[in-house]
Amino acid sequence: MARVADYFVVHVAPFDVGPGGESPAMVFTVHTDAVVDRSDAAPVLSYQCRPLSDEPAALRIDISGDSIEHVTVSVNTVRAMWKTFDGNLLHPGLGADNNVKFRNTGAGSIRISDVIVWYQRNVE
Amino acid sequence: MPRLLDYVVIRRDPLDLDHTGQSELLGFHVRAGAVTSPDSLPALTFQARAPSSRVPGPSPDLGGRVDLEILVNGLPTGVVRITLDSVRGVWRTFSEPRLNADSSANFVQFRSEQGLARISDVVLWYQRDVQL
């Protein structure tokens, strides 16, 4: 058995989240053999974001309803972001739904794109 | 033997470099078969932001320039200069030093040459030859 990295592209196209707004819950799946119990093999959520105004955006990110990030983003330039999170938040299995949702509790709008979940698997 | 992507999460929680000259050393292991040939260099990624007061809630977006020296296994990989006017994602590839792919530990060290920073979500991406 080998442990390998894998990923799921959750969302490609840019979408905007205004003040007080939230994204739809974007569904993704991970394979049944996903590693969920090792801190050194924790999953990683990566995304691009760009504030759209002078006011900062305050992003909260949920994975299947559990908060994994609360970060303030300002300055109108694109940036690459990633957040490691607890593998136990994943529901392995191609028939099991996981989802990621972005909420903006700040005063400014933000544009998000290229949302990817990276994780590890034990492959026979 | 296929060569596949792998990664190791070195640290999830934030660590603060509160003053110039402060450094933090983080240990990690890569698995057997890790390769560091010129077309398969490892990449170290992390998030950097200005350190906050230790109150709950979003990290403040204040801060200035910080020069971060990054060492791997005691050898410098260079200095990253960033302006922490907002949270930043940073990655750095390096050809030297080589990673220890046996059972011995590897170490990454962040040292502030100037300024203050909060580092989190430190991940090393690498490739390895896997026997399937």
For A35-91, how does the pLDDT look when each residue is reduced to its tens digit (9 = 90+)? 999 999 999 999 999 999 989 999 999 999 999 999 999 888 888 999 999 999 999
Strands in A12-65 per DSSP E: 15-17, 26-28, 44-51, 57-63
- Complex ipTM value: 0.87
Closest chain A residue by Cα to residue B10: A40
Q: Hey, what are B113's tokens?
A: 């040459």
Distance CA A32, CA A28 (A): 13
The pTM score is: 0.89
A73 near A56, Cβ under 8 Å?
yes
B12 and A CB contact within 8 Å = yes
Residues A101 and B90: their CA atoms lie apart, in Å, by 23
Residue A4: list chain B partners with CB under 8 A: 4-6, 130
Q: Which domains does chain A have, with CATH numbers?
A: 10-32+40-85+97-116 (2.60.120.340)
Are the C-beta atoms of A44 and B10 separated by less than 8 Å?
Answer: no
pLDDT digits (tens, 9 = 90+) for B76-126: 998 998 887 788 899 899 887 789 988 899 999 999 998 889 999 999 999
User: What residues 52-111 of chain B have any CB closer than 8 A to a CB of chain A?
Assistant: 57-61, 85-89, 91
A70, containing H or E segment: strand A66-73
How many CB pairs below 8 A link A and B? 79
Fill in the DSSP letter of residue A88.
G
